[in-house]
Chains A and B, each alone.
Chain A
Amino acid sequence: MRNTFMSRISPTSMRILALLFVLILTILFFSTQIENYLNARLFNRISTSVAIILLIAVGQSVVVLTRNIDLSVGSVVGFVAYFVGGVVGAFPEIPAILVPVLAIALGACFGAFNGFLVSRFNLPSIIVTLATLAIFRSILVEFTDGSSITTASLPDWLTEFARLNAFVVGNFRVRWMVVISIVVALVVHVFLTRFRAGRQFYAVGSNPEAARVAGINVGRTVMQAFVISGALAGLAGFMFLARFGNITIVAGLGLELKSVGAVVVGGVNIFGGSGSVIGVLIGASLIDLLETSLVRWALVSEFWRDAVLGMLILLAVVTDTFMSRRLLARPTAKAAAAKTAADNTAAPIAAPGARQAEGS
């Protein structure tokens, strides 16, 4: 057995290294195309924007790991941002800490509704959440009567929160939003990799039937995944409100595409069972970096942004398919060889004379 670097490294780590490489390439490319590209303002802007999409994508990845999908996240973000904004506007004395808690709880309720429909009645999540995507948005429209939340109606602490720095290095400001978002991602990462309860999300997505016979409560696991996704979308809704202040009925539109994009580009298998939150972190950064950079790149119309995101998703899926085909082909050939070797050495042959004859 050769223990070369390439054979020791797991496919997941390989994927993350490749993503980092693409991320660096992208930065280098745009720095040659756009004047004054590498500066602190770009960093500040992208990091705050990633903070929001990252939360949604992390929740999405937990759902995707269980072989499901949550298309309702965009509507959840919009609804939570609007509702929480309305509540804070009406009751400005409400303790600050209760506001994000309310946002998370509200999001979790939406998630629980999705999870209940999917796990209790065994419905396909793509249809359930496509329906709730529309339903949640319509409730929002009905609830708001088409009016908007404005920055002026919000308490100062909330709008300031979006600009609050956790620490500053030179011109680079790292906002609290960014820190919170990354900490949440890391907590989910540790949960998924180091806790049995977290590993069960992988098990359920890898083979639901096997999970059932292994005594794992599949319905509960799927339910949990949707609640996590909803709760994180709720937290993202709170940050969305703080960052933009002005919330209309189209708030959060299209975030389902971006979050699924970040998850797929980040290397989570869309059929469940494999992937890592670290990959999703890089995937979300890459998507946001591309989007922000394209806006400033004179050569390409900004209407192409969605197309670029789409192409990136396609590229990721194509790479995955080819990689997994190669990976599948290799170990099986090896396994077959090892097996026949083992069979030959261990075979309890009735006629010892025959065995010697073969050796000679």
Chain B
Amino acid sequence: MTAPVLEMREISKAFGNTRALDAFSISLEPGTIHALVGENGAGKSTLIKVMMGIHQPDAGSIVVDGREVTFRTTQEAQAAALAAIYQEPMVFPDLDVAENIFINHHARPAFVRWRALYDEASAVIKRLGVSVDPRRPAGSLTLAEQQTVEIARAISLDARVLIMDEPSASLSDHEVRRLFGIARALRAAGVAVLYISHRLEEVFEIADTVTVMRDGKHVSTRPIADITEERVVAEMVGRDMQGRFKRMPSAQTGDVLLRVEGLSRAGAFHDVSFTVRKGEILCFSGLVGAGRTDVALALFGIAPPDHGRIEIAGQPVTISSPAVAQRHGIAYVSEDRRKLGIAMAETVTANITLPMLDSYCGPLGLVDKRAESADADTFRERLDIRAADLNMPVGTLSGGNQQKVMLAKWLNTKPRLLLVDEPTRGIDIGAKAEVHRIIRDLAAQGVAIVIISSDLPEVLSLADRVIVMREGRFVGEFQGESATDESVMHLAVGAAGRGAA
């Protein structure tokens, strides 16, 4: 048993009346991957912030190499060889890769020698077994590449503890593989990796040890071999959850609602044809960047197609803007909550009523506040949105509840066709199950649903039909049960699979 490099002992931290951390303890040993799981709001983010010196604990102690320390700033945590990478990559889009890695590297001379900087950046990136040009601006990189840059920054600082907060949330399955390769290489080099993820499949694949936390408290820490997935889920939610990934096919499907023929947009997708029936759940699977979102954006009029036909309920339509799309009964729930989804600073009510604001206006064009709150309240009950007050800004809610607000906002438009992009990214298992239930209920009510998801278990549990995309083209289609992890994945990464069209 090696001595732990970092110990958090009985850490408590409260914000107002909320106890985010309640005498929580965890210890990280060098050369291990330690998974931390817990529902959203369990206190994981607060823990990271305490570890990285962003918050100071109210009680408890932080011990590095057996010596008690205090971190008043991120700089002090970094000096103790702690580093963290976050769910949304924290890079500088205007600066190039090399600078992103070394921007605050105090061991380097104050004077920048660019040639040496690029050489060293290449060396660090190479150690991760990936290839990224150190001269490219970070803003032009994919999310996965940006994350690589962040890991490179941590390595260049000789981090002995690397905290990864939901690192796989925005990655495609293939990129997750590469991330695991990097994590294992770090473990082999003696780094203590704290791996935080909602995806239990991943945790069981990568971690040596798993710690479960709930409501800011430590629940259990065990070697991965001593615990099952069901047990972890039960400990996380504090109750047993039966059949969480069971397929429940929609009862019956009706007439064809959407028919798409030969749809193309240069540089995004090519010759895409499919139909969706009323009450059917169709899933688009594939790697991130395969053009799935672009198809949704075309159907919602954000980035209209160059060629092809779209028919809704048998009528040919031209969808030139989101307003037109809404008029045809189409709603699009974006994958990017912050950018295209909700106004974080606005209240829950205002977000829900926003797309339909006209219908709440009285004779003088004034908004009928009472009707607004009444409808928002209905959605709170229907979708079980947990907000103490519907007049709270959405930004103060947990990720899962933000996602529900976004769903409510679009359900309020009473869509016939609902496009949902990454419906459960970065939200916890409990909320995920609820979102799935909501989607199934909608299908049962006859709404045609198109889901884009990089989460394979999600696709397999929700879909009546799966279409796989690769490099902007449809490469295969599966009916419900015939889709499996392997068959979908093979098509998505470009290996010839069974059932290829």
Contact = CB atoms under 8 A, between A and B. Distances in A.
Nearest to B91: A210
B99 interface: yes
Contacts of A98: none
A358 B490 CA distance: 11
Contacts of B84: 213
A49 B61 CA distance: 61
B495 A196 contact: no
Contact of B112 (A199, A209, A269, A333): A199
Given A202-B94, A213-B86, A335 B110 contact: no
B139 to A, nearest CB: 7
A339 interface: yes
Task: Among B136, B144, B153, B289, find the residue whose CB has the most chain A CB atoms closer than 10 A.
Answer: B289
Interface in B482-501: 486, 490, 493-497
A273 B90 contact: no
B103 interface: yes
A225 interface: no
Given A209-B90, A340-B289, A343-B174, A215 B78 contact: yes
B95 A203 contact: yes
A321 interface: no
A138 interface: no
B141 interface: yes
A195 B113 CA distance: 9
Contact of B90 (A200, A207, A217, A328): A207
A339 to B, nearest CB: 6
B93 A214 contact: no
Task: Among A205, A216, A347, find the residue whose CB has the most chain B CB atoms closer than 10 A.
Answer: A347
A342 interface: yes
B91 A200 contact: no
B130 to A, nearest CB: 8
B92 interface: yes
Given A216-B104, A347-B174, A349-B490, A358 B496 contact: yes
A217 to B, nearest CB: 7
A71 B154 CA distance: 38
A342 B104 CA distance: 30
Contacts of A36: none
Nearest to A205: B94
A335 B142 contact: yes
A339 B75 contact: no
B92 A202 contact: yes
A71 to B, nearest CB: 23
A344 B74 CA distance: 39
A195 B108 CA distance: 11
Contacts of A217: 73, 75
Contact of A351 (B54, B105, B131, B490): B490
A328 B140 contact: yes
A206 interface: yes
Nearest to B137: A331
B100 to A, nearest CB: 8
B15 interface: no
**Interface size grouping (class) on chain B:** 35 or more
Given A347-B494, A358-B494, A333 B90 contact: no
Contact of A340 (B104, B105, B471): B471
Interface string A96-130: 00000000000000000000000000000000000
B177 A216 contact: no
Interface string A208-225: 011111111100000000
B120 interface: no
B104 A336 contact: no
Nearest to B470: A340
A344 B153 CA distance: 27
Interface residues of A, number: 46
Given A207-B93, A209-B90, A343 B136 contact: no
A343 B136 CA distance: 19
Interface string A311-346: 000000000000000001001111110011011101
Contacts of B384: none
A9 interface: no
B145 interface: yes
B362 interface: no
Contacts of A349: 490, 493, 495
B287 interface: yes
B267 interface: yes
Contacts of B177: 348
Interface in A166-221: 193-197, 199-200, 202-203, 205-207, 209-217
Contacts of A334: 140
A274 B142 CA distance: 20
A166 B287 CA distance: 64
A212 B54 CA distance: 9
Task: Among A209, A331, A333, A336, find the residue whose CB has the most chain B CB atoms closer than 10 A.
Answer: A336
Contacts of B77: 215
Interface in B135-169: 136-137, 139-142, 144-145, 153
B52 A213 contact: yes
B136 A210 contact: no
A340 B481 CA distance: 28
A200 B497 contact: no
Contacts of A299: none
Nearest to A345: B494
Contact of A344 (B93, B289, B494): B494
A213 B153 CA distance: 11
B112 A194 contact: yes
A194 B92 contact: no
Contacts of B104: 196, 200, 203, 214-216
A342 B99 CA distance: 24
Nearest to A274: B94
B221 to A, nearest CB: 27
Contacts of B267: 333
A354 B11 CA distance: 52
Contacts of B145: 335, 339
B52 A347 contact: no
A277 to B, nearest CB: 16
A357 interface: yes
B174 A199 contact: no
Given A209-B90, A214-B103, A215-B104, A331 B494 contact: no
Contacts of B54: 212-213
Nearest to B77: A215
Interface of B: 52, 54, 73-75, 77-78, 84, 86, 90-95, 99, 102-105, 108-112, 131, 136-137, 139-142, 144-145, 153, 174, 177-178, 267, 287, 289-290, 470-471, 486, 490, 493-497
6 pairs of A and B residues whose beta carbons are closest in the complex: A331-B140, A273-B94, A210-B90, A206-B92, A357-B496, A206-B94
18 contacts: A195-B112, A196-B103, A196-B112, A200-B104, A206-B95, A215-B75, A215-B78, A217-B73, A328-B139, A335-B142, A340-B287, A342-B131, A343-B493, A348-B177, A349-B490, A349-B493, A354-B496, A355-B496
Interface of A: 193-197, 199-200, 202-203, 205-207, 209-217, 269, 273-274, 328, 331-336, 339-340, 342-344, 346-351, 354-355, 357-358
